[in-house]
Amino acid sequence: MVPLLQNYAVVGDAGDPLSARVFPAPLRRDRTGFQRDRDRIVQARAFRRLAGKTQVFTSRSSDHFRSRLTHTIEVVQTARDVAAALGLNEDLAEALALVHDIGHPPFGHAGERALDACLKRHGLRFDHNIHALRIVEHFEQRYAAHRGLNLTLGVREGIVKHSRDYSAKTHPELAPYFLDQRPPLEAQIIDLTDEIAYLTADLDDGVESGFLEIDDILDHVEVVRNSYRKVQEQHAGVEPKFLFHEALQLMQHRLIDDLISNTQMLIRMADLNTLEDIRNFPDRLALFSRLVEVQRFEEKKYLYDALYTCEPLEREHANATEVVTRLFDYWMDDPERLPASYVAQLESEAPARIVADYIAGMTDSFILNQFEQMEAR
């Protein structure tokens, strides 16, 4: 049974401009264009490499911690739930959730900051959304007739705009992606379903790592404390770790339900009925309520203060910065040391961008291997 879409959802049929591809592709009666995009993303090498990229903790710490790939799968689950509840195009939401982190370099946000700092010395910047677009449009090579995955315009726009807006003045190369308009709701929900997934998972992994204590979380994070008390009332005498797991699930449901209900309310209040209405509205509409937004901010601050900047992770971040920076400088000193496929691009791209592209595609284990080889020379 085909889900009933709201009038403001992306239709995604053959006549929808957002279904257009740069290169012609035969239509398939058994799959929509966005379903085919989903399959192309899952089959991409860059997607598979997410299994070897840090979310918060490196894979060397434990097999149980989230990687970029397992985090992505959790975002997909939440994005489809929210899209279905809002009457949106679930296939588009799923494709965008699958691809939303594909542009991240190794070592999580520490690696991204280090790579950006390296590029700034050469008048450039690293942006994982724009890099993700470069991956799907250029770096992936799976087809005989063209480079890239040849994704639909709707997915490519969502890659660029799901988490932030860009100015045509500062990013003229992104002009085809309707920079003067808001993205469809299918793209808008990705940023917050991403947050719901990692706010839940990072507390879970933080306790599993031993860096966070359940009692300390309950003292500082209201949304978790409220959920924990409800679970505790229903399961008296159960070990705290099991109560905590249940509380995280309850918290996640609370955030999902609030995102759905508040977005619906904002659409009704603004009397928006079509996709054009959504696009031309001055603000994004996929938002938490004011109360939940305060609770979300409190949890994010707690995670930053208690986990992301704790001493053991700061040591990992410092190591990541050293590895990325020294390898960047090593290849910048002599770009001919790069693999032949990257050397071939030196005539058309700035060397700093090419080196950054090479590093950004690496998994944690591969970049560490490259670092060891450099040190041995």
pLDDT, tens digit (0-9, with 9 covering 90-100), for 271-310: 999 999 999 999 999 999 999 999 999 999 999 999 999 9
Kindly report whether the global pTM for this prediction surpasses the value 0.85: yes
Asked if the structure places residue 2 within a domain, the reply is no
Q: What is the pLDDT of residue 244?
A: 97
The total number of structural domains that make up the chain: 1
Mean pLDDT of the chain: 95
pLDDT tens digits, 255-277: 999 999 999 999 999 999 999 99
Q: Is the residue at 328 inside a domain?
A: no
Mean pLDDT across 120-146: 95
Res 26 pLDDT > 90: no
Q: 3-state secondary structure string, the chain?
A: CCCCCCCCCCCCCCCCHHHCCCCCCCCCCCCCHHHHHHHHHHCCHHHHHHHHCECCCCCCCCCCCCEHHHHHHHHHHHHHHHHHHHCCCHHHHHHHHHHCCCCCCCCHHHHHHHHHHHHHCCCCCCCHHHHHHHHHHHHCCCCCCCCCCCCCHHHHHHHHHCCCCCCCCCCHHHHHHCCCCCCCHHHHHHHHHHHHHHHHHHHHHHHHHCCCCHHHHHHHCHHHHHHHHHHHHHCCCCCHHHHHHHHHHHHHHHHHHHHHHHHHHHHHHCCCCCHHHHHHCCCCCCCCCHHHHHHHHHHHHHHHHHHHCCHHHHHHHHHHHHHHHHHHHHHHHCHHHCCHHHHCCCCCCCHHHHHHHHHHCCCHHHHHHHHHHHHHC
* Residue 353 counted as domain residue: no
Q: Taking 60 as the threshold, does the pLDDT of residue 375 lie above it? A: yes
Domain assignment present for residue 92? The answer is yes
**In this model, does residue 42 exceed pLDDT 80?**
yes
CATH of the domain at 58: 1.10.3210.10
Which residues constitute the domain of residue 261? 17-21+33-312
- What mean pLDDT comes out for the span 134-152? 94
332, part of any domain = no
pLDDT digits (tens, 9 = 90+) for 199-240: 999 999 999 999 999 999 999 999 999 999 999 999 988 999
Q: Is residue 369 part of a domain?
A: no
Residue 181 lies in a domain: yes
More confident residue, 206 or 31: 206
What pLDDT is attached to residue 1? 43
Q: Is there a domain that residue 273 lies in? A: yes
Does the pLDDT value for residue 60 go beyond 70?
A: no
